[in-house]
Amino acid sequence: MKKNILVILLLISTSSCGIYSLNGASIPANAKSISVSYFNNQANMINPNLSSTFTEKLKDIFIQQTNLNLIEENGDLAFSGFVSKYEIKPISIQANETAAQNRLTISINVTYESKFEQSNNFTKIFSRYKDYNSSQNLTDIEESLVNEITNEIVEDIFNKSVVNW
Residue 111's DSSP bridge partners are 80, 123
Which CATH architecture describes the domain 25-162? Answer: 2-Layer Sandwich (3.30)
* Centroid of chain to Cα 153: 3
pLDDT at 5 over 90: no
Residues 76, 32 contacting (CB under 8 angstroms): yes
**Residues 88, 130: contact at Cβ < 8 Å?**
no
pTM of the predicted structure, to 2 decimals: 0.82
Domain limits of the chain?
Answer: 25-162
Over the stretch 13-31, which tens digit does the pLDDT of each residue have?
A: 444 333 334 456 788 889 9
pLDDT in tens, 117-131: 999 999 999 999 999
State the pairing for strand pair 99-114/33-36.
unpaired
